[in-house]
Structure formats: structure tokens, C-alpha cells
Amino acid sequence: MSHIAENLKSVRERIEIAARRAGRSSEEIVLVAVTKTRSVEEIKEAMAHGVKHIGENYVQEAEKKFVEIGTAVCWHMIGHLQRNKAKHAVEIFDFVHSIDSEQLARELGRRAQAANRCIDVMVEVNISGEQSKFGVKPDNALDLAGSIRDIPGIRLCGLMGMAPIVNQPEETRPYFAKLKKLWDKLPDENRIFLSMGMTQDFEVAIEEGSNMVRIGTAIFGSRESLT
């Protein structure tokens, strides 16, 4: 087995165990393989082993890969999206996890309509409170959700958040619990996905109610620093 296949097997087992611990089924948890900096070959290898969702952080990088991979997978935009990239983004992505303003949501909706598409979006919430992180303040998340849920061309389907980098996964628990609490307040039709959990903390995130995890390193190995 290749290292990607082995890693995927182990990640799936860990998702299964964490879900069971929380009294849930792993079938309700979507695995998004985060493929930033990864080659098309690596992505195809993951697809050959059952990956159906991939996450990218940059529109330009995704565009290049999309040409070769196409719609055989679901494409998730998980990085910060600039409004002037919305036109290109709607041609590639099925999901945008990083809505942090009404203007961005409106532009995305407008572009999606023009392309005859409907994009599933999530509001990104800055649960860590770190200045360097994107996303809206927790206090503003439900207001933003309310103001974008009727925009044509997009469909509000939940919230996304990132815990701070910590030494022990357990330390992320209060951040995820806080996001889950907000998510619980969304109207039923917008409460489809709670996108939280990455390599360092996905098991804790699942225990706290995540049903969409975004995992890169645990599948593909560590990203070489390109800077």
C-alpha cells in the first residue's frame, strides 16, 4: 500500500472510533482531503482510495488542478476568498467554507447565478479570537448567516471554524464546543454542515459535533515549507 492509502485507512479508522465514542455514525462525517501544495498525482492517488471531497486554499492553485481532475470530486474552497476571485471560484468550487462578509456572499451569489450554478457556503467564524485568523466574530456569526441565507446562487449550509494551534488536542475542545453552540441556533435548513477539525484536532472536533473534517497532513504527510 502507498503511504497515502495507508494514511487514509488510519484516518478513517480514527474518524470511526471518535464518532463511536460520541455515539454517532462515521457515515454522517464528510472527510475533506486538504490538497494545498499537493500534486495532481497525489490527489489522484487519494481519489483512487475513495476520496470524494478535496479542499484547496487558493483559487489559482485549484484552477490548475481542476483542469486535470475536473468534477470527479467535490471541490471545497477552505482558504480566504477575495471578492475579485469570486468569478473564477464559482467555476471550480461546490463548497465555499470561508464566507466572512455579506458583500462576499452577494458577489459569489451573483457570479454563481451568471454561471448557472448554486454554491454551498458556510460562514467562517473566528473561534480562536486570534487577530491573524479570518472569519467573523462569534457574536456576529448568526447575524451574517441571517443576512445571507436568502441570497440567490448560494445556499447557506452551516459554519466553519479553526481552533488555535495547541500542544494537546484536548485544548481545542472549548473552541469547538462554542462553534457547535452557535451552529445549533441556525435555522434547520441551514444546519447541514459543521466544518471543524484538522489533523491536530479532528477527533476532538468530531466528539464536539463536527460532521465535516478537513485533513491534509495526516493523509499526505507534512507540507514542505515553500517559502
Chain position carrying cell 501544495: 37
Q: Is the CB of 90 or the CB of 215 nearer to ligand PLP?
A: 215
| 147/217 with CB nearer ligand PLP | 217
Cβ 79 to ligand PLP, closest distance in Å?
6
Q: Based on CB atoms, which residue is closest to ligand PLP, 85 or 214?
A: 214
* Smallest distance from ligand PLP to CB 223, Å: 7
Nearest CB to ligand PLP, comparing residues 115 and 166: 166
Residues near ligand PLP, by CB under 6 A: 34, 36, 57, 78-79, 162, 198-200, 214-218
Q: What is the closest distance, in whole angstroms, from the C-beta atom of residue 129 to ligand PLP in the complex?
A: 16
What are the backbone dihedrals phi and psi of residue 153, each rounded to the nearest 5 degrees, phi first? 95, -20
Residue nearer to ligand PLP on the CB measure, 106 or 214: 214
Residue number of the CB closest to ligand PLP reads 216
Nearest approach in angstroms of CB 52 to ligand PLP is 17
The least distance separating ligand PLP from the CB of residue 114, rounded to whole angstroms, comes to 27
